[in-house]
């Protein structure tokens, strides 16, 4: 039995339902790195894999807050501090009713390898709550964030653990969290990233993940000898921070993004998405995408209730490049088949693990250029690290400086991934390249730091 099989059997025994997505993320990594483990015994000798898949600590706490009608509400908060071999724990906070320990372990585990791959001095973590921001007033969001930080502040710090945003957590939430941290500690620390610009945020942090995913794709297409994105139809899922900025960058470089989606349905606008309207609907009015067709009668809105089982209609629109940017496991095998049938050339994961393992396998077997999340969406956390640097040195970098550093970082990650894949005999396999390169850097640091 191979190392990969032994390890996977062990984790299979331990993984309950709540850990399903965590197990999914681990399994992919274990298969990818098996050749490395087999060729270099030091990783087994130092028990790196066994140590890497167990978080340093999982902090779980109660969050009690008062809604606008003075009803007492109780949620659960978490911070999974996974690994700090390369630098302080770093990773986002997710506020969504689906949040549980398993989801945060999957996201935290991915974050270790993503942050390692970025080449920056940051470890991996993730946190959040099952709190649902939908339909809550501004004051309710503020009260929840304050209550959440009342507990979280004990475990974080600018050299310890630096949370940021993720699903349901953007500049507004980070602002309230920062305000509460400052009140409790009397310390004006860069303890969170993704802060609004006026009090320490970095220019371009909101745009970074979506822009970075497009920069990565351009480089990958170049390395793989494919045509650029200019003039090409692209499909994007999601209508949040990552999706909207991917659409923005695609439009800036002359591509034509024609779709977006939210948790209620999807839009197909064959003339290209109206970005200004999308921003108003999602960032200002925080409303459903169904509103889009009120002013754009030529666009199509399909509500989720009309989706066929296991098919996401975004992936049935013919495109040159696809960008899943909403959430995990939103692109399954049947969707991958639709993309292939319609002539898609590349798939870039803007969201974390949006493609199922079966979808990834099918896409790769058809030689579709496939950019995995931990490489393609690392632009967000990279600019978070730039924000930490700016805060530590009390400097403010220009938009142009951050943008050029982001582009350079994404190109470097892409090249490192492609070269690593080639070195390990799996040329063109960006999943294996990313997993091996990410694992190696953090594993070597763990060995050097001792147990
Ligand atoms: P947002 O909350 O800004 O947007 C999320 C979008 O996805 C919304 O349009 C939301 O719909 C939709 N969505 C969320 N959950 C579901 C679901 N279960 N089914 C269908 N649609 C869903 O989050 P982000 O854009 O920040 O995050 C999107 C993805 O990108 C996540 O996987 C996140 O982990 C990842 N990511 C984010 C980074 C960042 O910097 N923010 C960095 C790297 C990765 P609705 O509008 O209806 O809520
Ligand atoms: O998944 C991710 O990389 C993020 N949500 C961003 C993390 C960060 O610390 O900026």
Residue spans per domain, the chain:
3-188, 208-367
pLDDT at residue 3 above 70?
A: no
From the CA of 383, give the closest atom in ligand 2.
10
What was the pLDDT predicted at 238? Answer: 98
**pLDDT tier at 282, thresholds 50, 70, 90:** very high
The answer, yes or no, to whether residue 14 has pLDDT greater than 60, is: no
Whether ligand 1 lies within 6 angstroms of the CB of 380 is answered as: yes
For the Cβ of 263 lying below 6 angstroms from any atom of ligand 1, the answer is: yes
Asked if 189 and 158 count as a contact pair (C-beta separation under 8 A), the reply is yes
Claim: this prediction has a pTM higher than 0.75 = yes
Averaged over 289-316, what is the pLDDT? 97
Please state, in angstroms and rounded to a whole number, the distance separating the CA atoms of residues 306 and 255: 29
How many angstroms does the Cα of residue 330 sit away from the middle of ligand 1?
11
Is there an atom of ligand 2 within 6 Å of 193 CB? yes
Q: Average pLDDT in the 310-333 region?
A: 98
Report the catalytic residues: 126
Distance, in Å, from the CA atom of 36 to the CA atom of 307, rounded to the nearest integer, reads 42
165 lines ligand 1 (CB under 6 A): yes
Beta bridge partners of 303: 265
Taking residues 403-419, what's their average pLDDT? 98
Q: How many angstroms separate the alpha carbon of residue 118 from the centre of ligand 1?
A: 21
139 CB neighbour count, 10 Å cutoff:
11
Residue 46 C-alpha to ligand 1 middle, in angstroms? 37
What pLDDT score does 13 carry? Answer: 56
Give the span between the Cα atoms of 246 and 164, in whole angstroms. Answer: 19
The residue nearest atom 30 of ligand 1, judged by CA position, is 351
Q: Is the dihedral of CA 147, 152, 153, 159 positive or negative?
A: negative
- Based on its alpha-carbon atoms, the radius of gyration of the chain, rounded to whole angstroms, reads 21
Instruction: For residues 216 and 412, give the distance between their C-alpha atoms in angstroms, rounded to a whole number.
Output: 9
What homologous superfamily is domain 208-367 in, according to CATH? NAD(P)-binding Rossmann-like Domain (3.40.50.720)
Look at residues 311, 313, 309, 275 and name the one whose alpha carbon lies nearest to residue 292.
Answer: 275
The domain 3-188 is placed in CATH, from the list 2.60.120.560, 3.40.50.10860, 3.40.640.10, 1.10.580.10, at 3.40.50.10860
Is the shortest distance between the CB of 175 and ligand 1 below 6 Å? no
**Among the atoms of ligand 2, which is closest to the Cα of residue 107?**
1
Strands 161-164 vs 124-129: parallel, antiparallel or unpaired: unpaired
CA 230, CA 272: separation in Å to the nearest integer? 14
**pLDDT tens profile 326-365:** 999 999 999 999 999 999 999 999 999 999 999 999 999 9
- What is the pLDDT confidence band of residue 41, given thresholds at 50, 70 and 90? very high
* CA triple 210-211-216, angle to 5 deg: 100
How far does the centroid of ligand 1 lie from the alpha carbon of residue 279, in Å? 14
Answer whether residue 43 shows pLDDT above 90.
Answer: yes
Name the closest ligand to CA 350.
1
Q: In what order do the strands lie in the sheet with 57-66?
A: 57-66, 72-83, 124-129, 89-95, 161-164
| Fold agreement between 3-188 and 208-367 | yes
Tens digits of residue pLDDT in 141-167: 999 999 999 999 999 999 999 999 999
- pLDDT of 2 over the 90 cut: no
């Amino acid at each position: 039995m191979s190392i990969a099989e032994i390890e996977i059997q062990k984790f299979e025994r331990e993984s309950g339902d709540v850990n399903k997505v965590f197990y999914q993320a681990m399994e992919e990594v274990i298969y990818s790195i098996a050749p490395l483990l087999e060729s270099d015994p030091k990783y087994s000798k130092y028990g790196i894999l066994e140590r890497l898949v167990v978080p340093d600590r999982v902090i779980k706490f109660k969050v009690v807050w008062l809604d606008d009608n003075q009803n007492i509400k109780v949620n659960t908060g978490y911070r999974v501090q996974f690994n700090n071999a390369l630098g302080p724990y770093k990773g986002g906070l997710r506020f969504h009713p689906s949040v549980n320990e398993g989801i945060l372990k999957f996201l935290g585990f991915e974050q270790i390898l993503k942050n390692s791959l970025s080449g920056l001095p940051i470890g991996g973590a993730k946190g959040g709550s099952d709190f649902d921001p939908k339909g809550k007033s501004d004051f309710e969001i503020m009260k929840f964030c304050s209550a959440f930080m009342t507990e979280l502040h004990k475990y974080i710090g600018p050299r310890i653990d630096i949370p940021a945003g993720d699903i349901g957590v953007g500049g507004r939430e980070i602002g309230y969290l920062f305000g509460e941290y400052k009140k409790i500690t009397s310390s004006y620390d860069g303890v969170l990233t993704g802060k609004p610009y006026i009090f320490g945020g970095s220019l371009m942090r909101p745009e970074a993940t979506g822009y970075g995913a497009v920069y990565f794709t351009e480089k990958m297409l170049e390395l793989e000898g494919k045509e650029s994105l200019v003039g090409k139809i692209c499909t994007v899922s999601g209508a949040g921070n990552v999706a909207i900025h991917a659409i923005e960058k695609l439009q800036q470089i002359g591509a034509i993004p024609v779709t977006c989606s939210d948790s209620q349905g999807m839009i197909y606008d064959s003339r290209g998405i109206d970005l200004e309207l999308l921003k108003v609907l999602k960032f200002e009015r925080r409303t459903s995408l169904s509103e889009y067709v009120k002013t754009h009668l030529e666009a199509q809105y399909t509500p989720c209730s009309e989706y066929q089982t296991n098919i996401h209609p975004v992936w049935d629109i013919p495109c040159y490049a696809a960008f899943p940017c909403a959430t995990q496991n939103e692109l399954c095998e049947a969707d991958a088949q639709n993309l292939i049938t319609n002539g898609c050339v590349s798939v870039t994961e803007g969201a974390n693990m949006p493609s199922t393992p079966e979808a990834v396998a099918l896409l790769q077997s058809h030689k579709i250029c496939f950019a995995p999340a931990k490489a393609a969406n690392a632009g967000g956390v990279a600019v978070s690290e730039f924000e930490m640097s700016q805060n530590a040195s009390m400097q403010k970098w220009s938009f142009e400086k951050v943008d050029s550093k982001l582009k350079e970082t994404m190109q470097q990650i892409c090249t490192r991934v492609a070269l690593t894949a080639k070195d390990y005999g799996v040329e063109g396999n960006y999943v294996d390249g990313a997993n091996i390169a990410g694992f190696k850097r953090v594993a070597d640091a763990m060995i050097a730091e001792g147990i």
